[in-house]
Every structure is written in structure tokens, then in C-alpha cells.
């Protein structure tokens, strides 16, 4: 037992040493507050995901062009913890970036938490509500735009079979699913919607194009001829697969994917894209900080005020535009309520 | 004997030093290849990593890593490759969160109950792989990988509004734990240390004690070194496989607890994933040794903490990932080299000593 | 061929020094020595696998220097290894021409050459048989033919008799005499003195890495040779006294066991095996390896669960008890393959001392290990059983085979077993250790130990056992009295040629020149 007590003593001593170490020394978060521009913290996938992050990045680019506001962009890794996200936001705020924007609902908690430590900095979070007075929450009515995508899909499908692929089965993506399914059903009662998810609860679903390829292939083989994919960067895989089969359509998400240079070889198969105007929202926030009138609170970007919309590039939906506009009008007027959770 | 012990010590230090030097060299070359100054990167890391808030962050981050490494190491010492630690801790944390969120008991009952549920669920999940291996001969590598996927699917199914979760903005999470279940923290400046640090140290000590000081631990190590010798020595290898998988899963159950009881207070779609895989790297790095793994977990935390800072200095974000990979590779290679060298050295020394003894007796015979 | 002053050093050890040997053309030259005396190193030097640090090799007066086996083959030297290097799924012809395709092609010419060589030396090799269908002795002849096919005029045979039963040994020696008659030279490595004396023209004894004597068979006896090998006088012969009592210690009754092989085919490996060992009795099991001995041992140890029959130890039915309980009940086990079943090679000696006895004193106190007591007891075993090691912290792997075995014997004996299972207890062990291990088994037998002895060394079996059984294809087919039986007679039962109670027939005049453990005190 003698040895044991010696080891225990050593352990306690080590622990004590560690504690005392952490108690002294300078903290790294003691400066901050200068206006170095926009700090943008991306979710997994990075700025070049051709989709969600890229939309935010476009807002940043516009801010630089119009307002001369520089920006710093950082990207999340797969399998991150709250601590990692908090650190990323803290580092940006600490380095003097203002505003600091977390792109993606994963940043919901961390933005609101870190914001309290930096009262002089304005924070923004996409897809999450504001819970602190210096946080601007930007939420979007994805379900409404997805409803329109459903209308388009129902009208374009020859087999009366359409598919939905979600990256991760979470509340946000379920909004896309709910709107899409409702739009299809309201347009074509005979149509059958197949909705599948890449991952149950792993954020890898947003940057695993190979998994989306497999899912899309399966749907095409089952006779589905319009596939709407809401899965961030993974959507590229689905679009690529759909482009490989004649007479089938892909519906993109977040950015106008018809215009994406990275997807240009498949653009003939991209029927339309459900666009969340994240770029507009981010630009609004940067501009407000630039103008010294920072936005706060939660702002809902809806179909009614063009916060979300359906893209028309390529002109593939020109023939059905009238019906889409009619559906839009019904939603805007409140005549149609689009559910944000899928019917079970 | 003195000589052998001294060699043992030198060899013991040689391996990590060799590994770190090699890893630094390789990383430097990679940073140079990206057109940046490696020395400046190290300076930034050392400076930022030693800040007081960084220290707290690193220690808090290292706690679950360490627990994960312990869970993996229990398998490693048995020659079992429990890749399923990831699924085990997630499903364990999920059900612990469900139970914890449904009850409101005083903290001294509620916290142990939650931890117990987590360990139990982790054990059962890992035990499935153990039972399949012993009864059906299925490799635990395959089953644990599959069980990871199944765990994710099970969580995904229950983590929906109206099942076991509630909707909160764009997140689903289990009902929040009552305030009585919040784990204590160790007050330090500028941020508090996670109280689970204490549990991690206790579990680390228990790991050491059980493996090195008990009959059970001896049996376990015997199976790890030679299954055939263990069998002949009277160890029931099959029972040992199941038992060690249960233990490994139980330890895995603890991994999610610092997060559940210390920061999130619920299991949501944002619950950290992948710590089980990090644990494999840390167990390799720490050579399954309780202190080695602690150092490795802290090193991992340090790299993650300082990696973000490197991004501000316009280094590539991926540099830290590369460093982590290179370090693990270097350590594995260096330890194997040093181990082989040590074995040869020992054989030679034994040979020399015996030859010296033989010469002595021969002389004695001649003179007699 | 002449070797002068050959010295080879390995880091820390001198494997060979000042070796001087002269080998005459057309003779069988035997190299004898204990395990670890340096025979194998010397052979590797001769065959070009290793280079000597000092000294010269000359053939027919020309000094040569071999850098690889190819150089040796070019000088017409060939080697037949102890472990055969044949591809099972190829025919004899294919095996022989493999790697030597340029000599005679791979077709009719090669076949003709093989038949020619086979006939010339009476090897009786059939070129179109698959090697997997051949027995051990036939395979060995294929190996010899392979070497001859490549033009060898000097053959090195490394322990060729280790794998053969006595009848096969005689056949091999006839082949060797044929080779000699044709003017070929054979270098024959062995530590079986009787064989050496019967076949060799010259004998060179190696001890501790150097040549200590060159003798001619006519002028020496096995005892003198053995003393040259060991370097000292051997213990005086011991008179056999029976210590067998009436108390049954182990009773195996109608034991049956079948296993499924890789293809899933059920195979009976133990078929109605019954035997009884009394206190103070050593029961020897003879048999060619693979006839069920290993399975019998594993069934008694509890490592395999028998399909039928009972095993009774000291009156208690242990047929299905776990291995650990059997060990605690007093079964000691010296396994056949000590590296796989008896040791943790990379663990220190004191952990190896705990292996197999982790629940017993002095290794454990309750559920905890008692490291201090285990270490102290390891030191005691090392001293008492003469385990040559610089300490108890070194790994088991760094000990020589004999010392590893002494440690295992010491460990098993330290728990005062009622029954000792000794499977090949002196295999790969040097003469000194061998004698010690025999002494320990005898001493324990005197104190009432029951011993199940399994060995491929028939002299060991005959010398140590109080009773003998022969195992063939999973059955005990014959029994014999070790006091009268000869290895040759045992050998015919081992190949299935004889069964029932074997008696010594005086008409069989085969010279029994092998020393036996309890008579001469040692043999190998």
C-alpha cells in the first residue's frame, strides 16, 4: 500500500499544480472591441459548399464591395462540441471583429452565450432566434419556399413520384420536408412523395455528397423523377446523380444552384432552387453595424417579403410560373398555412 | 539489475521524445510547404495555449477525451478493438438524459442515478458486441461499427418531437435536467474547471489499480498478451471478452457525462459526436497507460485550442488535424521501434551476463 | 572440405570460435552438440547464410567465401532443413523443379532426371504424387532429391531424424549409405548419439561454440560422447525402483471428442480413451504427433470439453470443470508448446510465475495480487530450479529454451500438484536442463505425484515411465512394459502396425544403443 499512497500523493500534487497554473497567467480574452470587420463562423462544409454557407459568404462579399467591410471566415469541423463553437466565436470577437455571425442553427446556443461576454460587439446567428440583447437572430420560412418547390415538382413530374432528401433529420430540415410535401399534395393529390434522410443526427449529413448520391440513385431507380435535396454540400451529389438520368429534375437549396460555377455542368437538370436569402440577411446586419445602428432581436425572413423565394434561372419553370405565383399569393395572404413539421 | 532498470527508464523516455521530435519535423515541413513559417506557428501555439483561459479550456476538453481513451484502452489491453465507444457513449448519454430529464430527485440521488444509467446503457451496448464475438465468432470491429450506426439510428428515432424529445427552435433535445442534476465545478479563474475532472482522475486510478493489482486485471492482461497461454492458464477467454466489453462500455458511458451534467443539461441534436474515435487516437498516443493517456488528452486539447488561433495567423485550418495525425503515427512507429530495440537489447544483455557466468565457472573448473 | 579457425560473433555473444573441422570426400560426417552449442550457426556459415567474422573455408584446397546460399550451391553444397520447405499443393515434380527450371526444364527431361536420381540412390520418389499426400519420411526424401537435382555433392542435413520414427530412421540411414557409396559427402547434424554412432564415419563434437573433439565411432561409446558434449561426467545411472501405489489419482473413462476442421467436417480425435494413473506412477503415451495426444491433454486440462466419457481426479469427477478449477484442484501442466501455452513472452519472469496460478498463494491475497510475495517466490524458483537469468524483471523471451522450461517446471512444481501433465517436457531443451527436469519428475514421483508423460522421444518415454500406452488415430491401441520394450517395437505400434500388449521378442536383435534417461541418466 505504500506505493499506492505515494502515487495518490503524486496525483493530488499534479492536480493541485494544474489548478494553480490555471489560476494564474494572463487570460487571452482581455482585449477586443475594435472594428476589424465581419467575423463569419461557418458550419461544416465551409464557404464553398455551393449552398448555405456560400449564401452567407455572398453577403459578406457584397458588404466588402459596397461598404468596404473586410471579413474573416472560419469553418467548423465534423463532430464539434459547444466548446469548439464558443471558442471560434470568442476568438473572432476577441480579435475585434464586429459583427460576429454564426452560420447555422448549431451556433444558436454558443452565439447567445458568447454575446453576453462581449456586450460591445454585435452578434448574428442564422437559423436561430436571438436570446441576448446584442444578438440578431435570422430565421427563414423555409417551409414556405419549399411549398413552392413542391408545387413545381408536382407539376413537372411525369411519373407522379417525387422525392425529398434531407441531410440530417433535425427540426430545420423537417421544415423543408413539411413544406415540400404539402406543396406537392395540394397541387397533385395523386402524387406520391418519398422523403428520406442521409443521417439521423450526424452533421456529416451536410457534407457527405457520396451518401446523397446513393440515396438519389435509389430514388431514380424507383421511378422518382424530381428530387428536392436539402442537405447543404451533400446536395451536390444528388444533383450530379439526377443529371445523369435524362428527363429527371433536381431542385436545389439555399443558393441559386443553377448559377453555381461548381455545378455548371449539371445546370441543365436543376429545375429551380429554394433560396434562403441568407446573403441579404447577413448584408443587412453588416450594414446596420456599419451604420452604427446594429440590428437586434429575431427577424423572420418569409415568402411574403422575399426573405425566401424560388429561383428562376434557366427558365425551366417559366411555363408554370403562373401557378407558382398563385400559390405564393395564397401563402402571403395567409389563405394557405404551411406547416413547419411534416404530417405524420 | 540496476543496469536493466536504467535502460528501461531511458527507453521509456526515448519513445515519446523521438515521436515528438519526428512529429515536429514532419509538421514543420508541411507548414513550410504551405509557404508559412513553422516556428512562428509554434510560438503562437505556445503563447496562446499557456493563457489561463486556454488552460481551463484544455483541461475541460481533455476530460471526456481521457474517459474515452480509458474505455478504448480497456479493450486494447485485451486485444479487443472497441471501435464502438462512439456509439456507446452517445446512446448512453441519450438514455441517461431521458431518465434524468424525467425525474426530479435531490442531486445526491439524481446525479449518481444518471451516471449509473449511462454506464449501464454503455455496457449493454458494448456487451452485445462481446456476446456476438463469443457465441457467433463475429469480429468486434465489425459489430461495434455496426452498433455505432444502430445507436445513431435509435437516437435519431427517439430524438424527435413527441417521442422522447422536445423542439426548441431548430433543435430537438431531451427535456432539460432539473437544476439538482448539475454537476459541481471547481472554481478557478477566469472560468471554472469541470467537476468531472475528479471523476476522470478516479477512474484513471481505478483503471491502473484493477489492471495491475488485481487477479482480474492480471487475467485480462494475460488474455491480451497471449490468448492461448491464458486459456491454458485457466482464464475463461470468452467470459473475459464479455466482461471487458461490458467494462469498456461502462467507461464509455461516462464520456458524455461532463457535457450532459456540466454544460448542455440535455441531449440534443447538437450533442458532441466523434469523441469515441478521438479516444482511439489518444489511447494509442498514451500507450494505454493511465498517465500517458492523460498527457495525450491534454495535448489533444492543446492542439485544438491553439489550432483556431493559427487560423487567425493565416495558417491553414487543417494544420492541426495534420499535426494530430502525424503525432499519433510517429508515436506508434516510435514505440514499436523502441520496443523491438529494447527486446533485442535485453536479450543481448541476458546473453552477455550468462556468458560471463559461464566463463567464470569454466575458469573455476580449470583451476580446480 | 576444411574449416579453420571459424569464429562468428553476434552482438554480445560468440556463437562460434576457433572451429576446426576436416571433412573427407565420400564420408558421413556427424556434428554433435547440445542445443545452443553452435551447430546451427556453423551450418549457416557453411551454406552461405551467414559470413564468419574470422577463419577460412576451403574446398578441395581452394579457399572459398560464400556470400549467399547461391554461392554454396554453385560449389555443389546443398542443405536439407529441419523444417521442410515444400509446397503441399504441388506435385513432387513441381516442387523439385521449382526455382531450378533452367536445369532440365519442367517437362519430360526433368521427370527423367528425377527418376534417374531416385533410382540411383534408392530414394523411391514418385514424381507425380501431390506432396500433401506424402508422409514425413517421403517428404524428407523429396527434400534430399531436390538438393541432389541441383547438383549437390555435399549434403548438409540438419537434425534429419527428429521427425522420424525408428524404422524411418533406418531407411534414411540406408539412403545416406547409398549416397556415400556414390562418392557424395554428407554432413549430419544431430544430438542423438546412438544414431550418430551407427551412421557416421567421423564425429566432431561441438561445445560452447567450439570444436572440442574429433572421434571415430569405433573408438567411443555413447556415454563418452555425451560427456564430451556436456563437458563433465554425467550423473551415475539410477536404479529403477517402482513407486507406484494403489491409489488411483487420474481415471479417464471412455473419453470421446470430435472437432470440426476448417471445412466443417467432423473428425473424431479421441475415441473411447480410457486410462488410469496411480499415485507415484508415470504413464507414458507414445505416438506419432497428431494422433490425439494434444487433444487428450487439452481435455484433461479442461481446455476442450469432451463429448463423452468421464475424467476423475482423486475421486472427483472433473469432466466438465473449468481449467482454473482443475489447476486449483492440483493439476500441473508443462505444455507441449511453451511459447503458446506456457509463457507470456513479453512479460517479466515474475508475471510468468503468476500465470496459471493467479488465484493461488503466494500470488494472490483475496482478489488482489500479492506482487511482493510473487516476486520473492519467483526469485526462489530461479534459484532452486537453476534458471539462468540475470534477474526476474527480464522478459521470458530473453531466456533460452531450457531456462524457460525450467521456470515452467519450477512454477508447476511449486504448487505441489497431484497430477502433472508433461507434454514433451524436454523438447528443445539442452542436455543439462534435460537431466534436471527428469530428476525433478522422478523426485516428485517418489513423493506420490501421478504423471502423464507425452513425448516424441521414445528413450525419454521408456526411461521415465512406469507404464506405456501407444496412441494411434485417437485411440489407445497398445500397451507395453517399459522395462523390456525397445524403441523399434514401440515404433511399429506407433505407425499402426502392431496393437494389443506389446512384448519384447528376443529375435529382434536391433541394437539398442540409445542411452535411456533412468539408465544412463540422459540421452540427447
ipTM of the assembly? 0.82
Contacts of C468 (CB under 8 A, 6+ apart): C283, C284, C285, C286, C461, C462, C479, C480, C481, C482, C485, C490
Angle, CA of A49, A50 and A53, to the nearest 5° = 55
Residue A161: what pLDDT?
94
Count CB pairs under 8 A between chains B and C.
Answer: 118
* Domain boundaries defined on chain C: 2-230, 245-330+417-524, 344-415
| Cis ω before A99 (30° cut-off from 0) | yes
Residue A7: what pLDDT?
47
Instruction: Give helix B38-49 / helix B290-312 axis angle, nearest 10°.
Output: 110
Residue B151's pLDDT band (boundaries 50, 70, 90)?
very high
Average pLDDT, chain A: 85
Q: Give the least confident one: B178-187, C5-14, C57-66, C215-224.
A: C5-14
The better pLDDT of the pair C137, A127 is held by A127
Residue C244: what pLDDT?
76
Count CB pairs under 8 A between chains A and B.
Answer: 125
Backbone φ/ψ region at B340: left (φ over 0), alpha (ψ -120 to 50), beta: alpha
Q: Judge: A108–B171 Cβ closer than 8 Å, yes or no.
A: yes
Residue B357's pLDDT band (boundaries 50, 70, 90)?
low
Residue A24: what pLDDT?
45
Identify the burial level of A273 via C-beta atoms within 10 angstroms of its C-beta, where 0-12 means exposed, 13-18 middle and 19 or more buried: buried
Residue A25 has pLDDT above 60, yes or no: no
The 10s digit of each residue's pLDDT in A302-339 is 988 888 989 888 889 889 999 999 999 999 898 889 98
Average pLDDT, chain C: 79
Nearest of A100, A99, A70 to residue A88 by alpha carbon? A100
Identify whether B212 is part of a domain: yes
Q: What share of chain B is helix, strand, coil (3-state, %, to 5)?
A: 75, 5, 20
For domain C245-330+417-524, give the CATH number: 3.40.50.300
Residue B355's pLDDT band (boundaries 50, 70, 90)?
low
| Domains of chain A and any CATH numbers | 38-140 (3.40.50.2300), 142-275+314-333 (3.40.50.2300)
Residue B359: what pLDDT?
60
Q: Which of C14, C344, C356 sits opposite B234 (nearest CB)?
A: C356
Q: Are A104 and A140 in contact (CB under 8 A)?
A: no
Q: Which of residues 116-175 of C touch B (CB under 8 A)?
A: none
Give me the torsion for CA of C393, C396, C399, C404, rounded to 10°.
120
B341 contacts chain A (CB < 8 A): no
pLDDT, average across residues B343-362:
67
In percent, the amount of chain C with pLDDT more than 70 equals 88
Q: Which of C322, C369, C395 sits opposite B218 (nearest CB)?
A: C369
Residue B90 has pLDDT above 70, yes or no: yes
pLDDT, average across residues C242-267:
77
Angle, CA of B57, B61 and B66, to the nearest 5° = 140
pLDDT, average across residues C352-364:
86
Residue B328: what pLDDT?
85
b vs e for A238-263, b when ≥16 Cβ sit within 10 Å of the residue's Cβ? bbbbbbeeeebbbbbbbbbbbbbeeb
Q: Judge: A25–B308 Cβ closer than 8 Å, yes or no.
A: no
Give me the torsion for CA of C413, C419, C423, C424, rounded to 10°.
60
Residue A151 has pLDDT above 60, yes or no: yes
| Cis ω before C362 (30° cut-off from 0) | yes
Average pLDDT, chain B: 86
Residue C150 has pLDDT above 90, yes or no: no
B308 contacts chain A (CB < 8 A): yes
Against chain A, the chains showing at least 3 CB pairs within 8 Å are: B
CA C186 from chain centre, in angstroms, equals 22
As a whole number of angstroms, the distance between CA C190 and CA C30 comes to 7
B318 contacts chain A (CB < 8 A): no
- All residues of chain B having their beta carbon less than 8 Å from the beta carbon of residue C325 are 234
As a whole number of angstroms, the distance between CA A78 and CA A97 comes to 24
Q: Judge: C341–B213 Cβ closer than 8 Å, yes or no.
A: no
Residue B86's pLDDT band (boundaries 50, 70, 90)?
very high
Residue B162's pLDDT band (boundaries 50, 70, 90)?
confident
Identify whether B199 is part of a domain: yes
Identify whether B344 is part of a domain: no
Q: Which of B213, B217, B346 sits opposite C398 (nearest CB)?
A: B346
The better pLDDT of the pair B262, C104 is held by B262
Look up residue B262 and give its DSSP letter: I
Residue C308's pLDDT band (boundaries 50, 70, 90)?
confident
Residue A155: what pLDDT?
93
**Which CA distances in Å does B50 have to A22, A24, A26, C423?**
9, 10, 9, 62
pLDDT, average across residues B52-58:
88
Q: Which of A8, A11, A88 sits opposite B308 (nearest CB)?
A: A88
B232 contacts chain C (CB < 8 A): yes
Residue C514's pLDDT band (boundaries 50, 70, 90)?
very low
Most C CBs within 10 A among B6, B218, B361, hence the mutation to make, goes to B218
Q: Judge: B216–C343 Cβ closer than 8 Å, yes or no.
A: no
**Which CA distances in Å does C485 have to C459, C464, C509?**
10, 13, 12
Q: Which of B59, B170, B209 sits opposite A170 (nearest CB)?
A: B170
pLDDT, average across residues C414-426:
87
Residue C10's pLDDT band (boundaries 50, 70, 90)?
low
**Which CA distances in Å does C287 have to C166, C268, C411, C422, C455?**
12, 17, 27, 15, 8
B276: domain range?
Answer: 63-288
Q: Give the least confident one: B351-360, C229-238, C361-370, C457-466.
A: C229-238
Residue A105: what pLDDT?
84
The 10s digit of each residue's pLDDT in A52-63 is 788 889 899 999
The 10s digit of each residue's pLDDT in B1-11 is 445 566 667 77
B152 contacts chain A (CB < 8 A): yes
Domains: count for chain B: 1
Query: Which residue in chain C is spatially nearest to B359 when comparing CA positions?
Result: C208
Residue B7: what pLDDT?
67
Identify whether B42 is part of a domain: no
- All residues of chain B having their beta carbon less than 8 Å from the beta carbon of residue C390 are 1, 4, 349-350, 353-354
Query: Which residue in chain B is spatially nearest to C361 when comparing CA positions?
Result: B215
- Fold match between C2-230 and C245-330+417-524? yes
The 10s digit of each residue's pLDDT in C70-99 is 888 888 888 887 667 787 788 888 888 877
- All residues of chain B having their beta carbon less than 8 Å from the beta carbon of residue C345 are 225-226
Identify whether B338 is part of a domain: no
Most B CBs within 10 A among C233, C361, C398, C421, hence the mutation to make, goes to C398
Identify whether B332 is part of a domain: no
Neighbours of C358 (CB within 10 A): 23
Residue B124 has pLDDT above 90, yes or no: yes
The better pLDDT of the pair A181, C246 is held by A181
pLDDT, average across residues B83-92:
94
Residue B12 has pLDDT above 80, yes or no: no
- All residues of chain C having their beta carbon less than 8 Å from the beta carbon of residue B346 are 394-395, 398
In percent, the amount of chain A with pLDDT more than 70 equals 89
Residue C431: what pLDDT?
66
Q: What share of chain C is helix, strand, coil (3-state, %, to 5)?
A: 35, 25, 40
Q: Give the least confident one: A202-206, B2-6, B330-334, C251-255.
A: B2-6
Residue A28's pLDDT band (boundaries 50, 70, 90)?
low
The length of chain C is: 524
Q: Which of residues 23-42 of C touch B (CB under 8 A)?
A: none
What's the pTM? 0.76
Q: Which of B232, B349, B352 sits opposite C335 (nearest CB)?
A: B232
The better pLDDT of the pair A312, C240 is held by A312
Most B CBs within 10 A among A12, A83, A139, A175, hence the mutation to make, goes to A83
Q: Give the least confident one: A86-100, A241-255, C456-470.
A: C456-470
Nearest of B7, B62, B139 to residue B294 by alpha carbon? B62
Residue A344: what pLDDT?
64
The 10s digit of each residue's pLDDT in B279-317 is 998 998 888 899 989 999 999 999 888 888 888 888 887
Q: Judge: A19–B186 Cβ closer than 8 Å, yes or no.
A: yes
Q: Are A180 and A193 in contact (CB under 8 A)?
A: yes
Q: Does domain C2-230 have CATH number 3.65.10.10?
A: no
Q: Which of B51, B205, B311 sits opposite A27 (nearest CB)?
A: B51
CA terminus-to-terminus distance, chain B: 30
Residue C293: what pLDDT?
84
Neighbours of C372 (CB within 10 A): 10
Residue A222: what pLDDT?
92
What distance in Å separates residue A293's CA from the closest CA in chain B? 26
Residue A219: what pLDDT?
94
B215 contacts chain C (CB < 8 A): yes
Residue A80 has pLDDT above 90, yes or no: no
Residue C426's pLDDT band (boundaries 50, 70, 90)?
confident
Amino acid at each position: 500500500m505504500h506505493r499506492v499512497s505515494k502515487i495518490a500523493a503524486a496525483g493530488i500534487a499534479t492536480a493541485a499544480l494544474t489548478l494553480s497554473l490555471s489560476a494564474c497567467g494572463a487570460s487571452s480574452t482581455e482585449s477586443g472591441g475594435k472594428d476589424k470587420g465581419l467575423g463569419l463562423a461557418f458550419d461544416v462544409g465551409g464557404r464553398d459548399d455551393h449552398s448555405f454557407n456560400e449564401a452567407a459568404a455572398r453577403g459578406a462579399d457584397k458588404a466588402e464591395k459596397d461598404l468596404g467591410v473586410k471579413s474573416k471566415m472560419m469553418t467548423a469541423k465534423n463532430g464539434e462540441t459547444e466548446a469548439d463553437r464558443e471558442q471560434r466565436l470568442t476568438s473572432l470577437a476577441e480579435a475585434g471583429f464586429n459583427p460576429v455571425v454564426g452560420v447555422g442553427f448549431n451556433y444558436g446556443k454558443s452565439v447567445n452565450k458568447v454575446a453576453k461576454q462581449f456586450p460591445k460587439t454585435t452578434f448574428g446567428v442564422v437559423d436561430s432566434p436571438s436570446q441576448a440583447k446584442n444578438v440578431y437572430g435570422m430565421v427563414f420560412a423555409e417551409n414556405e419556399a419549399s411549398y413552392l418547390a413542391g408545387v413545381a415538382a408536382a407539376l413537372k413530374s411525369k411519373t407522379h413520384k417525387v422525392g425529398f432528401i434531407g441531410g440530417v433529420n433535425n427540426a430545420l430540415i423537417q421544415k423543408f420536408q413539411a413544406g415540400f410535401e404539402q406543396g406537392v399534395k395540394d397541387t397533385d393529390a395523386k402524387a406520391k412523395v418519398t422523403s428520406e434522410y442521409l443521417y439521423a443526427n450526424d452533421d456529416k449529413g451536410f457534407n457527405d455528397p457520396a451518401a446523397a448520391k446513393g440515396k438519389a440513385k435509389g430514388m431514380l431507380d424507383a421511378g422518382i423523377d424530381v428530387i428536392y435535396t436539402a442537405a447543404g454540400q451533400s446536395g451536390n451529389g444528388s444533383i450530379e446523380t439526377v443529371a445523369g438520368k435524362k428527363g429527371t429534375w433536381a431542385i436545389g437549396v439555399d443558393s441559386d444552384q443553377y448559377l453555381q460555377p461548381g455545378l455548371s455542368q449539371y445546370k441543365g437538370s436543376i429545375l429551380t432552387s429554394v433560396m434562403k436569402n441568407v446573403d441579404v440577411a447577413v448584408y443587412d446586419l453588416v450594414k446596420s453595424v456599419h451604420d452604427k445602428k446594429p440590428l437586434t432581436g429575431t427577424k423572420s425572413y418569409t415568402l411574403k417579403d422575399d426573405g425566401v423565394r424560388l429561383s428562376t434561372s434557366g427558365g425551366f419553370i417559366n411555363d408554370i410560373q403562373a401557378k407558382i405565383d398563385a400559390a405564393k399569393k395564397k401563402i402571403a395572404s395567409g389563405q394557405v398555412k404551411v406547416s413547419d413539421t411534416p404530417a405524420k | 539489475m540496476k543496469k536493466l532498470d536504467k535502460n528501461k527508464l531511458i527507453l521509456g523516455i526515448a519513445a515519446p521524445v523521438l515521436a515528438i521530435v519526428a512529429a515536429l519535423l514532419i509538421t514543420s515541413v508541411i507548414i513550410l510547404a504551405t509557404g508559412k513559417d513553422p516556428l512562428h506557428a509554434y510560438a503562437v501555439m505556445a503563447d496562446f495555449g499557456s493563457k489561463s483561459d486556454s488552460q481551463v479550456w484544455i483541461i475541460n476538453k481533455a476530460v471526456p477525451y481521457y474517459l474515452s481513451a480509458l474505455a478504448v484502452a480497456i479493450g486494447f489491453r485485451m486485444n479487443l478493438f472497441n471501435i464502438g465507444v462512439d456509439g456507446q457513449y452517445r446512446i448512453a448519454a441519450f438514455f441517461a438524459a431521458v431518465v434524468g430529464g424525467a425525474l426530479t430527485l435531490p442531486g445526491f440521488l439524481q446525479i449518481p442515478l444518471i451516471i449509473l444509467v449511462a454506464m449501464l446503457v454503455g455496457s449493454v451496448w458494448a456487451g452485445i458486441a462481446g456476446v456476438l464475438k463469443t457465441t457467433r465468432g463475429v469480429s468486434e470491429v465489425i459489430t461495434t461499427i455496426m452498433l455505432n450506426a444502430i445507436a445513431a439510428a435509435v437516437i435519431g428515432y427517439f430524438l424527435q418531437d413527441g417521442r422522447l424529445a422536445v423542439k426548441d427552435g431548430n433543435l430537438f433535445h431531451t427535456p432539460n435536467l432539473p437544476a439538482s442534476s448539475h454537476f459541481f465545478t471547481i472554481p478557478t479563474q477566469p472560468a471554472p474547471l469541470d467537476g468531472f475532472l475528479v471523476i476522470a482522475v478516479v477512474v484513471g486510478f481505478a483503471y491502473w489499480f484493477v489492471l495491475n493489482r488485481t487477479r482480474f486485471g492480471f487475467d485480462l492482461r494475460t488474455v491480451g498478451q497471449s490468448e492461448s497461454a491464458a486459456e491454458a492458464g485457466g482464464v475463461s477467454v470468452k467470459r473475459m471478452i464479455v466482461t471487458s466489453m461490458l467494462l469498456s462500455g461502462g467507461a464509455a458511458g461516462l464520456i458524455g457525462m461532463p457535457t450532459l451534467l456540466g454544460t448542455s443539461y440535455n441531449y440534443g441534436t447538437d450533442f458532441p459526436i466523434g469523441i469515441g474515435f478521438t479516444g482511439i487516437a489518444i489511447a494509442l498516443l498514451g500507450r494505454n497507460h493511465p498517465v500517458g493517456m492523460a498527457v495525450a488528452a491534454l495535448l489533444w486539447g492543446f492542439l485544438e485550442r491553439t489550432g483556431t488561433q493559427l487560423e487567425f495567423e493565416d495558417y491553414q485550418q487543417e494544420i492541426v488535424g495534420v499535426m494530430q495525425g502525424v503525432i499519433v503515427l510517429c508515436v506508434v512507429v516510435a514505440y514499436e521501434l523502441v520496443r523491438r530495440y529494447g527486446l533485442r537489447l535485453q536479450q543481448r544483455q541476458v546473453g552477455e551476463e550468462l556468458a560471463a557466468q559461464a566463463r567464470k565457472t569454466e575458469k573455476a573448473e580449470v583451476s580446480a | 572440405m576444411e574449416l579453420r579457425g571459424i569464429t562468428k560473433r553476434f552482438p554480445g555473444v560468440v556463437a562460434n570460435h576457433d572451429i576446426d573441422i576436416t571433412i573427407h570426400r565420400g564420408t558421413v560426417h556427424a556434428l554433435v552438440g547440445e542445443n545452443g552449442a553452435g551447430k546451427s550457426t556453423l551450418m549457416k556459415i557453411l551454406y552461405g547464410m551467414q559470413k564468419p567474422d574470422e577463419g577460412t573455408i576451403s574446398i578441395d584446397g581452394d579457399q572459398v567465401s560464400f556470400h549467399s546460399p547461391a554461392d554454396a550451391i554453385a560449389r555443389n553444397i546443398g542443405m536439407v532443413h529441419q523444417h521442410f520447405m515444400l509446397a503441399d499443393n504441388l506435385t513432387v515434380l513441381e516442387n523439385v523443379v521449382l526455382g531450378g527450371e533452367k536445369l532440365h526444364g519442367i517437362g519430360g527431361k526433368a521427370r527423367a532426371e528425377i527418376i534417374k536420381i531416385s533410382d540411383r540412390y534408392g530414394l523411391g520418389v514418385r514424381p507425380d504424387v501431390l506432396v500433401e499426400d506424402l508422409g514425413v519420411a517421403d517428404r524428407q526424401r523429396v527434400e534430399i532429391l531436390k538438393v541432389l537435382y541441383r547438383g549437390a555433392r555435399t549434403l548438409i542435413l540438419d537434425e534429419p531424424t527428429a521427425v522420424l520414427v525408428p524404422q524411418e530412421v533406418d531407411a534414411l540411414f540406408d539412403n545416406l549409405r547409398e549416397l556415400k557409396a556414390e562418392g557424395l559427402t554428407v554432413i549430419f547434424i544431430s544430438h542423438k548419439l546412438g544414431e550418430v554412432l551407427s551412421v557416421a564415419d567421423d564425429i566432431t563434437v561441438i561445445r560452447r561454440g567450439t570444436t572440442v573433439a574429433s572421434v571415430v565411432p569405433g573408438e567411443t561409446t555413447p556415454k563418452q560422447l555425451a560427456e564430451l558434449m556436456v563437458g563433465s561426467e554425467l550423473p551415475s545411472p539410477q536404479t529403477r525402483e517402482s513407486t507406484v501405489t494403489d491409489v488411483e489419482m487420474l481415471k479417464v473413462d471412455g473419453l470421446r471428442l470430435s472437432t470440426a476442421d476448417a471445412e466443417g467436417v467432423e473428425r473424431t480425435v479421441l475415441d473411447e480413451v480410457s486410462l488410469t494413473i496411480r499415485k507415484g506412477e508415470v504413464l507414458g503415451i507414445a505416438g506419432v504427433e497428431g494422433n490425439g495426444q494434444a487433444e487428450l491433454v487439452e481435455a484433461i486440462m479442461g481446455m476442450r470439453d469432451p463429448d463423452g466419457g468421464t475424467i476423475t481426479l482423486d475421486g472427483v469427477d472433473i469432466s466438465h470443470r473449468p481449467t482454473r478449477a482443475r489447476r486449483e484442484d492440483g493439476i500441473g501442466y508443462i505444455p507441449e508448446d511453451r511459447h503458446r501455452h506456457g509463457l507470456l513472452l513479453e512479460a517479466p519472469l515474475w508475471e510468468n510465475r503468476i500465470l496459471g496460478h493467479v488465484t493461488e498463494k503466494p500470488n494472490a491475497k483475496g482478489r488482489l495480487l500479492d506482487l511482493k510475495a510473487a516476486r520473492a517466490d519467483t526469485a526462489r524458483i530461479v534459484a532452486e530450479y537453476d534458471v539462468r537469468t540475470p534477474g526476474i524483471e527480464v522478459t521470458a523471451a530473453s531466456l533460452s529454451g531450457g531456462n524457460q522450461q525450467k521456470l515452467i517446471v519450477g512454477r508447476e512444481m511449486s504448487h505441489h500438484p497431484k497430477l502433472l501433465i508433461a507434454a514433451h517436457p524436454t523438447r528443445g531443451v539442452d542436455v543439462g536442463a534435460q537431466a534436471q527436469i527428469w530428476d525433478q519428475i522422478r523426485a516428485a514421483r517418489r513423493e506420490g505425484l501421478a504423471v502423464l508423460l507425452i513425448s516424441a522421444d521414445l528413450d525419454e518415454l521408456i526411461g521415465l515411465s512406469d507404464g506405456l500406452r501407444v496412441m494411434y488415430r485417437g485411440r489407445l491401441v497398445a500397451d507395453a512394459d517399459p522395462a523390456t520394450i525397445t524403441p523399434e517395437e514401440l515404433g511399429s505400434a506407433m505407425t499402426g502396425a502392431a496393437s494389443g500388449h506389446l512384448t519384447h521378442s528376443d529375435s529382434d536383435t536391433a541394437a539398442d544403443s540409445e542411452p535411456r534417461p533412468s539408465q544412463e541418466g540422459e540421452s540427447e
